[in-house]
Amino acid sequence: MTAVVLAAGYATRLYPLTRDTAKPLLDVAGRTILDRIMENAARIPGLRSAVVVSNARFYDQFQRWAVCADYGISTTVLNDGSTADSNRLGALADLRFAVHQCDIRDDAMVIAGDNLFDFELAEFAAFFASVNGDCIAVGRIDDSEQLRRTGVVEIDLDDKVLSFEEKPQNPKSNWAAPPLYCYRAATLHELLEEFLRSGANGDAPGAFVPWLLTRTAVYAFRFEGQRHDIGTLQSYNSVRALFGARERHSAS
C-alpha cells in the first residue's frame, strides 16, 4: 500500500497564519500536522511508501520537512505546479498527478493533509483488505449543523455505501465521511481517470465517491473516536489545546 497525502491547498481561511507556511506544517503541540499524520500512517503493516503532494509555493518547505522526516518508509514530495489558490489543481487532480508521477501500482490510502484522527489508520487498512473493495471512512455525528458541512452517507448492514451526498441540507443519516479513502490500484488508474476525463469537478475529494458508487461497490469503515478537521483558526486553536492537554497528561 502507498499513502498519498494531499497537501497542495493554500488554506486561505487561516490567513495570515498560512500566508507563508503550509497548513500541514503548522505546529500542533510540538509536532506538525503532517508529522502526526505520517506517524499514524507509518504503523500500517505493509505500507511501502508515502507521497506528499504540495504546490510550487510551499514545495521547498515540504522538501525541508522530508529531509528530517524518518518514518521507516520511502517518502516523496511532489510539486503540482500551482502557485496560488486561483490556479490550484484540486484534490482529485492532485491524486491523479501523484499516481502518474510516482507510477503508483499499489492500492492507496488517500489522506487530507489537514485532518487528524484518533483511531489507527492501520485499522482502516485492515478493513479495506477484508472487504477487497474501495472504501471510505465514516464517523457518527449527531449534530445536524455539523452534518450539513460535510459528506453524509447511507450504509447498509454489510457496510456497503448506498448513497453519498456532500454538504446536504437534509442529511439522510448520521454517518459523516471525512476526506479519508482507500482505493484499489485499478480504481486509481482506470475509474479516477474516467471520472476526471468526463470534465467532472476535481476539486473536492468526496466528489468522486457518488460517481464511483455507480460503477462499483464502495464500503464504509465505521471508526471510533474523533476526527479533527483543521479548517479555521478556531478549529486550529481547539486542536492545539486538545493535543497539548494530551501531551501534558501523558508526560505526567
3-state secondary structure of 182: strand
For range 162-183, the mean pLDDT:
93
13: domain CATH number?
3.90.550.10
The CB density around residue 61, as the number of other CB atoms within 10 Å, is 16
For residues 155 and 138, what is the distance between their CA atoms, to the nearest angstrom?
Answer: 10
- Measuring CA to CA, which residue among 186, 148, 184, 139 is closest to residue 168? 148
Percent of the chain with pLDDT over 70: 99
Interval 196-220: pLDDT, tens: 999 877 788 889 999 999 999 999 9
For range 60-70, the mean pLDDT:
94
For range 183-196, the mean pLDDT:
96
Ramachandran bin of 188, using left for φ above 0, alpha for ψ from -120 to 50, beta for the remaining angles: alpha
Count of domains observed in the chain: 1
**Domain coverage including residue 146:** 2-235
- pLDDT at res. 174: 93
pLDDT, greater one: 134 or 68: 134
- pLDDT at res. 96: 96
Dihedral sign, CA of 115, 118, 124, 126? positive
Q: Is residue 243 part of a domain?
A: no
Max mean pLDDT among 13-17, 188-192, 199-203 falls in 188-192
Q: Is residue 27 part of a domain?
A: yes
Q: HSE of 217 in the Cβ direction (CA atoms, 13 Å)?
A: 11
- What does pTM read for this prediction? 0.94
- Measuring CA to CA, which residue among 113, 127, 107, 111 is closest to residue 224? 127
Q: Is residue 241 part of a domain?
A: no
For range 33-56, the mean pLDDT:
96
Alpha helices in the chain (DSSP H): 33-41, 59-68, 91-101, 121-131, 144-147, 185-186, 192-197, 208-213, 233-251
For range 64-76, the mean pLDDT:
93
Residue 251 pLDDT > 80: no
Q: Which residues contact 53 (CB under 8 A, 6 or more apart)?
A: 4, 5, 6, 7, 8, 78, 80, 94, 95, 97, 98
Q: HEC states along 39-78?
A: HHHCCCCCCCEEEEEECCCCHHHHHHHHHHCCCCCEEEEE
What is the chain's mean pLDDT, rounded?
Answer: 93
Q: How confident is the model at residue 45 (pLDDT cuts 50, 70, 90)?
A: very high
- pLDDT at res. 252: 66
Dihedral sign, CA of 211, 93, 114, 144? negative
For residues 124 and 142, what is the distance between their CA atoms, to the nearest angstrom?
Answer: 22
For residues 203 and 188, what is the distance between their CA atoms, to the nearest angstrom?
Answer: 16
Residue 250 pLDDT > 90: no
Q: Is residue 40 part of a domain?
A: yes
For residues 114 and 24, what is the distance between their CA atoms, to the nearest angstrom?
Answer: 6
Q: Is residue 245 part of a domain?
A: no
Query: At which residue does the C-alpha cell 490550484 appear?
Result: 88
